[in-house]
Amino acid sequence: MSERNELDERALGALFAAARDVAPQPSDALVARILADAAAETAPAPAPRRSGPREWLSDWLEAIGGWPSAAGLVTATAAGVWLGLSSPELVSPFGLSATEFDLVDLVPGVQTGFGG
């Protein structure tokens, strides 16, 4: 291949410019497939959040673990309220009062040795 047969810089530039102007174009079907991929892969825009009592209750239930947790929580709360309202007389027969206690020597014959 001789020097004479090689294209110069200007001619090559004209060929590159022609290639830019007459570029292969993607088909409409390809564009449609790419748009379908975009729709499938990207999350939809979040809808504006409603804020009513129903949504608040739903969020609260979800946060504490659902209806079973809510039932347990209500029961525990009711028990606490009942204990709080009850008089000490009602509580002490069940041994729940912390104001009285007895000391019992379970093994009277054994000396601990402390204090001679």
Partner 1 sequence: MPLDALVDEPDDVLLARAAQGDARAAETLTHRLTPRVFAHASRVLGDRAEAEDVAQEAMLRLWRIAPKWRHGEAQVTTWLFRVTVNLCTDRLRRSRRNGPALDDVPEPPDPAPSGDAQLMKSRRAAALEAALLELPERQRQAVVLRHIEGLSNPEIAAAMDIGVEAVESLTARGKRKLAGILGQQRDELGFGDE
Does 50 bind partner 1 (CB under 8 A)? Our answer is no
What DSSP assignment string belongs to 86-112? S-HHHHGGGT--SS------S-TT---
Question: CA torsion angle for 87, 92, 94, 95 (degrees, to 10)?
Answer: 140
Does 41 bind partner 1 (CB under 8 A)? Our answer is yes
Does 11 bind partner 1 (CB under 8 A)? Our answer is yes
* CB count in 10 Å sphere of residue 70: 14
Does 28 bind partner 1 (CB under 8 A)? Our answer is no
Amino acid at 10: R
Region from 33-41, 58-66, 85-93, 105-113 binding partner 1, contact rule CB under 8 A: 33-41
User: Interface with partner 1 by CB under 8 A: which residues?
Assistant: 1, 4-8, 10-12, 14-16, 18-27, 30-31, 33-35, 37-39, 41-46
